[in-house]
Amino acid sequence: MSDQWIVEQLHPFYRKALSYQTKLLDEQTEYQHIQVFQTEFFGNVMLLDGIIQLTERDNAGYHEMISHVPLLTQTEPKSVLIVGGGDGGTLQQVLRYPSVEQAVLCELDRRVVEAGIEYFPQFGNPFNDSRVELVIEDAFAYLQGITGQFDVIIADTTDPIGAAEKLFTPEFYRLMVKALKPYGAITTQCEQMFFDVQLIKDMMGIGQSLVQHPAYYHTLVPTYPGGGIGFLYMSNTPWTEGLNKPYPGPMHYLTPDIHRAAFACPQFFKDAVAA
Amino acid sequence: MSDQWIVEQLHPFYRKALSYQTKLLDEQTEYQHIQVFQTEFFGNVMLLDGIIQLTERDNAGYHEMISHVPLLTQTEPKSVLIVGGGDGGTLQQVLRYPSVEQAVLCELDRRVVEAGIEYFPQFGNPFNDSRVELVIEDAFAYLQGITGQFDVIIADTTDPIGAAEKLFTPEFYRLMVKALKPYGAITTQCEQMFFDVQLIKDMMGIGQSLVQHPAYYHTLVPTYPGGGIGFLYMSNTPWTEGLNKPYPGPMHYLTPDIHRAAFACPQFFKDAVAA
């Protein structure tokens, strides 16, 4: 292995480093610092503002879980919105459903989309699919005029720092719920059970005020801080509606057991969120 | 937070670092390099040969899962062996069962036991319990003369490097099974699903040759490589026997849902282990 290291620090108490071979991209865009590295073990790795967004090796635990958990609760989902997700990994999963007629991806930074197409070819350039509408815009602005349109909304965002901070507010969550059909489902990226419990508690509180069946679930992503990340599911349809539904094809991470297991949270976390 | 860092590297491609305030212990024993650091977020942290063994904040995910999963499969477990586990965290969990009459802890290095007592007082100095027999000896040697004695054996070992390498061999697994009662249960520390798949596959193969119901399960430990670790359950009693049994008291990590969820493995891992 090489002795060059990608060093990441999102929390003040924790750092992680991946050995890399080549830096493929290093660019300050209008909105953020975007980097792509080639690594031997993890494959290509994308960072935004120094934080690891995805690797070829372990992104399925993220992309399959953020997309199929809400999608499987819907009978024949037709209209899907992805907030962020410019790398294309979530979009690829959404497009696997033949029922999907419209997949809007609302991403602030066109350069993320271009980097995804160039450096993550295994996502199959989903932007070429005729069902896709790419909107390069602030999601806050985009959602203002939309009511009751989407079966599924997936907030595949960066962490609540800088430009993405306002995507973790009651105002933005309300805009998403307004844009959703009455029994549609939303999933938002919602951080790490051990490191971010206060943020998750706040987001759960917002979810409880907006929908009948909010629920927290989580997945394994070794290259994320603490080795995993969670999601907030928000819907008037319970997440259990999606269990044991037929998949749109083979999965790399998801199984029916994993689907159920993702909603099992440790006792200390349940206590902290309920307190 | 301080800008002093504990930097750990177990795999050639991955490093992790925790910020620390004070180094409490730094000693080369007869067997290994033992260090204890005080950290603000994780509490006290113990390392052996540079590898993080436990932290105050997240050890419950390890200690509760390595101990209660086998113990709960046994009706009134009486006799328990812990291999390694000198820090005392697993022993504390074992002693919570009133039925346990004998808890043997076989640890190579007395200094680990002493460091556990000094720096991890929340384990309640389990070595003071009259049911405990502390054996300072190589577990390989200790097990040679023992047959059919234990209800539960827990191999709470370091990684398969150096002194602990022989604890990940068919010979050692056979010794453990020989020392077990016919329907007793063994759990061994068995590394990380994303990083160590070949080792796990090898260990599963050994388990399959020795018992009727081997099974792999896993838990969340953010300070371990990749944020988690797995275990090999080996028994002629299925692990499901332990589900929904009464707990010996409140848990910090374990819940009935977590118990079941721990055995749910991602599709790619199931495929790799079955291949």
pLDDT tens track for A222-255:
999 999 999 999 999 999 999 999 999 999 999 9
Q: Which residues of B touch A258 (CB under 8 A)?
A: 264-267
Across the beta sheet with B4-11, the strand order is: A4-11, A14-20, B14-20, B4-11
Rounded to a whole number of angstroms, the distance from the CA of B149 to the nearest CA of chain A is 33
Q: What is the average pLDDT value for chain B, to the nearest integer?
A: 97
The 10s digit of each residue's pLDDT in B204-256 is 999 999 999 999 999 999 999 999 999 999 999 999 999 999 999 999 999 99
Q: Which of B19, B253, B268 sits opposite A268 (nearest CB)?
A: B253
The 10s digit of each residue's pLDDT in B119-148 is 999 999 999 999 999 999 999 999 999 999
The 10s digit of each residue's pLDDT in A169-201 is 999 999 999 999 999 999 999 999 999 999 999
Q: Which residues of A touch B253 (CB under 8 A)?
A: 266-268
Confidence bin at B76 (pLDDT 50/70/90): very high
pLDDT, residue B1, reads 63
The whole-number average pLDDT for the span A44-65 is 98
Question: Would you call B61 and A266 a contact, using CB atoms and an 8 Å cutoff?
Answer: yes
Rounded to a whole number of angstroms, the distance from the CA of B146 to the nearest CA of chain A is 37
- Two structure tokens written together for B29: 């024993």
The whole-number average pLDDT for the span B15-32 is 97
B156 is an active site residue: yes
Question: Domain limits of chain B?
Answer: 4-55, 60-274
The whole-number average pLDDT for the span A82-99 is 98
Q: Phi/psi of residue B250, each to 5°?
A: -65, 145
Nearest in space to B95 (alpha carbons), one of B62, B71, B113: B71
The whole-number average pLDDT for the span B80-102 is 98
What percentage of chain B carries pLDDT values higher than 90?
96
The whole-number average pLDDT for the span A259-274 is 97
pLDDT, residue A161, reads 86
The 10s digit of each residue's pLDDT in B188-206 is 999 999 999 999 999 999 9
The domain A4-55 is placed in CATH, from the list 3.40.50.300, 3.90.550.10, 1.10.3720.10, 2.30.140.10, at 2.30.140.10
| pLDDT > 80? residue A2 | no
Whether B4-55 shares its CATH topology with B60-274 is answered no
Q: How far is CA B219 from the centre of its chain?
A: 11
Confidence bin at A152 (pLDDT 50/70/90): very high
The region, left, alpha or beta by phi > 0 then psi within -120 to 50, assigned to residue B143 is alpha
Nearest in space to A229 (alpha carbons), one of A115, A37, A59, A113: A59
The CATH number given to A60-274 is: 3.40.50.150
| pLDDT > 70? residue B180 | yes
| pLDDT > 90? residue A33 | yes
> ipTM of this model?
0.97
Nearest in space to A119 (alpha carbons), one of A55, A50, A51, A30: A55
